[in-house]
A = this chain, B = another copy of it.
Amino acid sequence: MKIGIYGYGNLGRGVETAVWHNPDMETAAVFTRRDPKDVQTYGAPVYSADQATDFKDKIDVMIICGGSATDLPEMTPMLAKNFNIVDSFDTHAKIPEHFAKTDKAAKDSGHIALICAGWDPGLFSLARLYFSSVMPVCTTYTFWGKGVSQGHSDAIRRIEGVTNARQYTLPVPEALERVRAGENPTFTPREKHRRDCYVSVAEGADKERIKHEIITMPAYFADYDTTVTFVSEDEIIKNHSALPHGGHVLCSCRTGQHNENLQKAEFTLSLESNPEFTASVITAGARAMHKMHARGITGCKTMLDIPPADLSALSDEELRKSLL
């Protein structure tokens, strides 16, 4: 399988290294909107994004490593006209629109497209689906963290006087324990997650005003218990430059004629690098697209539509023997 990587930031680099671990794949080309001479990969050849169409018969799956806010809504439908593609679109409210546009582009051109690949949306969505299908009358809970939210970190950085910031989302331990105990509770956002912020400011900046602006910021922080710790910019770079994340999907239900038996399921991810793990998932997703396209399937898919065996390099016989 020849993989193309379209966009070469944290995620694109993660895909290039993830492909190393899959002997049935190789990175045929990296495409960039920068000057290709300025992009240093781990070994894959670099081309200008404008040249991508020249590779339409040389690449089996194009993995699009752009941002959900502005890149992917344009790039994914455009590239699906010439390639089987995978993206990691994660702007929840805009998924129906992104799905519809990509589905049309892929179907019209006879390609297949996997959108929203990764761990959430992605593996966590799958856990929610399996749990809610097996335990249909129960509530499925998702807790995130401890992890860095780039969106929340960016929101803090836009405040006047802030030079750098890192925001960690954390589950509230008591809430997690109540769910684990099978209580099926109802939570406010504040009861479920808290937010810890590490912030560096310009000399002479008004820390009280900045702290107030953070903890009262609507949508981002006002509905959560938020701590703000002022640190030097050096300390942010030294101690807070990693991008860990993870979380838990949980579900419990009662079975039996008198609901006497408590059944509990929990899926946990603990990731030291969010973009590298996302890259690992979407690389497996690229294999599934290649296999499904070979069976004549076209159009837009999500991980909820992929027969799990298609993610693996092993044959169905090997999978039944080694994993069932």
CA A307 to CA B72, docked complex, whole Å? 25
A268-297 at interface with B (beta carbon < 8 Å): 268-273, 276-277, 279-281, 284, 287
Name the B residues within 8 Å of A263 (CB-CB). Answer: 269-273, 276-277, 280
Inter-chain contacts of A42 with B (CB < 8 A): 257
A257 vs chain B, min Cβ distance (A): 6
- Chain B residues near A14: list those with CB within 8 A: 255
Bound-complex Cα distance A210 to B42 (A) = 64
Contact between chains at A126 and B134 (CB < 8 Å): no
Assuming the A-B contacts A92-B324, A267-B266, are A17 and B256 also in contact, with contact meaning beta carbons closer than 8 angstroms in the complex?
yes
Q: Mask for A118-129, Cβ within 8 A of B = 1, else 0?
A: 000101011111
Once A263-B277, A280-B263 are accepted as A-B contacts, the answer to whether A305 and B302 lie under 8 Å apart by CB is: no
Interface residues on A, range: 35 or more
User: Which residue in B135, B255, B281, B317 is a CB contact (below 8 Å) of A17?
Assistant: B255
Question: Chain B interface: which of A161-169, A198-206, A308-316?
Answer: A308-316
Q: How far is the CB of A66 from chain B (nearest CB, A)?
A: 18
- Cα separation A18 to B121 with both chains bound (whole Å): 28
**A39, chain B: closest CB distance, angstroms:** 15
Provide the residues of chain B in CB contact with A130, threshold 8 Å: 123, 126, 308, 311
Is residue A262 contacting chain B, with contact meaning CB distance below 8 A?
yes
In angstroms, Cα B271 to Cα A237, docked, is: 45
Give A contacts to B, CB under 8 Å: 13-14, 17-18, 21-22, 42, 92, 95-96, 99, 116, 121, 123, 125-130, 132-137, 246, 253, 255-257, 260-273, 276-277, 279-281, 284, 287, 302-309, 311-313, 316-317, 319-321, 323-324
